[in-house]
Amino acid sequence: MKIASKSYSKKPDYSQLSQAELVSLLLQKDASLAQRDADIKQRDAYIERLEEIIRLQKVQRFAAKSEKQPFQITLFDEAELESAIDDLIDEIPEDSLSQELAQTKKTRQRQRGFSTSLNRIRREISLSDDDKAGATKTFFTKVKEELEFIPAQLNVIEIWQEKAVFESPTGEHVIAAKRPTHPLGKCIATTSLLAYIITSKYTDGLPLYRLDGMLARLGHEIGRNNMANWIIRLNDVFKPLINLMREQQNLGRYIQADETRIQVLKETGKTAQSDKWMWVTRGGPPDKPSVLFDYDPTRAGHVPTRLLEGFSGVLQVDGYSGYGKVCRELDITRIGCWDHARRKFVEAARGVTSQKGKSNKAKPSKADVGIGKIRKLYAIESKIEGLSESEKYTVRQELALPVLQDFKAWLETNHPKVPKDSLIFKAIQYTLNQWESLVAYCDHGFVHISNALAENAIRPFAVGRRNWLFADSSRGANASATCYSLIETAKANGLEPSSYIHYLLDHIADADTLEKIEALLPWNMPKAS
């Protein structure tokens, strides 16, 4: 067996080199080592960014969705801030303050027992005649209340039309009783069934195929294609009402806007996989709030320009640049959303290496510090929630602005200190880029610190989208936007969505004048007696 001989690398002989050549060689090696150290440092930074992203992805997928952080309580003296707010509130006239706070407290009171609006049925448990024999008197006492559920059922309504025949010299003349109008004309579904279908899909997030199975178990299979066609046809019926809501909304002084993706399979000039958009605007006069959805295959700036035509107040949106066009063209005041800024710091905090088990010794990260400073702003807003517009403006000017100035100084100090392309760098950069619009809420007492109301209006759509996944065509997407608009606007006006949709379907076919259509707006609904 032949064994391979070991090979040894021959060391270079430097004895023959001159001093200048040795110096040159050392400089080359130093440069090579410096380059290698730089490459290693760059590689380590790249690995750190990837690990940060992976940690964030794991948290987003598996961890709790709450944005609470372990250091959020200890990062600032909340008691000191609340004391300062209380001092300002003490300067407000007691009569006006107590009235505002009393109303706020009243709306937050916890409901005990069952609602008084529910139908009540008395069921008596009686003694037998033998048990009562010889008693001087008997009486009942209420010992318990139970909530009963009556399962849904399908009925077939047979409509018989009475006709009268009259004799005349020219022959018989027939008069028929006037048939009730239906929003879809010839349709096998009553308005109650249509209201149930719309509410089930757009309030409860049930896809039509699942709803079809539920109805089949009740005795009749309708077919999801039939239900989809009914919803699409109703879009034209509801359109005049939506147009009035849009006009009324744009007459207000404050609108919040947001947008989210929707998959539409059949859209001219677009692939099924490409992004299309559902836009939402929330606003209008305080006593006539509306939440309006609108489908558009693009996210271009001309879309909000179309939706906000005639509006000249304050628009609250995120940092998307497409809103700049409408603000310039319509001379609209733009303010930002602190929820979006805070969310980026939360993501940065979640991307930091986990300190589980060492929270008492761990030092807060820069992301944690940033969240703590933003929480000061939200603490102020929570405290002044029940105050009037002028009182909110005063508190924001005296307390929120100094907090904002301190936060900006911290951002500018730490911006050059954090690695570029890191999550904390992106959070700081976003906040600084949006600074002018983010602090603008302090200039008004009637606006909110964030765009949360618009995002909350989009949430039912996002939940439903997980169930029905996509819209087949743009007609279906537009019909969905109309249904969501009616339901969320009903909620914003304190109406039960199912009852409002049913009332609307019962009356909209006879609404042949502007006055009759206006009477169907949610804020014009007759009050329940």
- How far is residue 1 from each of residues 4, 5, 6, 7, 8, measured CA to CA in Å? 10, 12, 15, 19, 22
Q: Where are the beta strands (DSSP E) in 391-504?
A: 471-473
From the number of C-beta atoms within 10 Å of its C-beta (0-12, 13-18, 19+), residue 75 rates as middle
Give the global pTM: 0.75
Q: Which of 444, 415, 418 is nearest to 432 (CA)?
A: 415
Q: Determine contact, residues 318/340, Cβ cutoff 8 Å.
A: yes
Domain boundaries, the chain: 338-353+365-449
DSSP line for 447-487 = S-SSSHHHHHHHHHHHHHHHHH--EEEHHHHHHHHHHHHHH
Amino acid at 226: N
Q: Which of 365, 291, 353, 370 is nearest to 59 (CA)?
A: 353
Tens-level pLDDT at each residue, the chain (529 residues): 455 555 555 666 666 777 777 777 788 888 888 888 787 877 777 776 676 677 666 666 655 555 555 544 444 455 455 555 555 555 555 554 445 444 544 444 555 678 888 899 999 999 998 888 888 899 899 988 888 888 888 999 998 998 999 888 888 888 999 888 999 988 999 999 999 999 999 988 888 889 999 999 998 989 989 999 999 999 999 999 999 999 999 999 999 998 888 878 777 777 777 788 889 999 999 899 999 999 988 888 888 999 999 999 999 998 888 888 888 888 899 999 999 899 899 888 887 755 444 444 567 888 889 999 999 999 998 888 888 899 999 999 999 999 999 999 999 999 998 888 888 999 999 999 999 999 999 999 999 998 888 877 777 776 666 565 567 788 888 999 999 999 999 999 999 999 999 999 999 999 999 999 999 999 998 865 4
Q: Determine contact, residues 484/293, Cβ cutoff 8 Å.
A: yes
Q: Determine contact, residues 232/476, Cβ cutoff 8 Å.
A: yes
User: Which residues, listed in sequence order, are joined to residue 335 by a DSSP beta bridge?
Assistant: 316
Q: Which of 155, 154, 173 is nearest to 163 (CA)?
A: 173
223 dihedral zone (left: phi>0; alpha: psi -120 to 50; beta): left
Tokens 């349709």 belong to residue: 187
Q: Which long-range contacts (CB under 8 A, 24 or more apart) does 379-387 make?
A: 379/78, 379/81, 379/82, 380/81, 380/85, 381/448, 381/449, 383/82, 383/85, 383/89, 384/85, 384/89, 385/104, 386/100, 386/101, 386/103, 386/104, 386/105, 387/89, 387/92, 387/97, 387/100
Check residue 398 and report its DSSP letter.
I
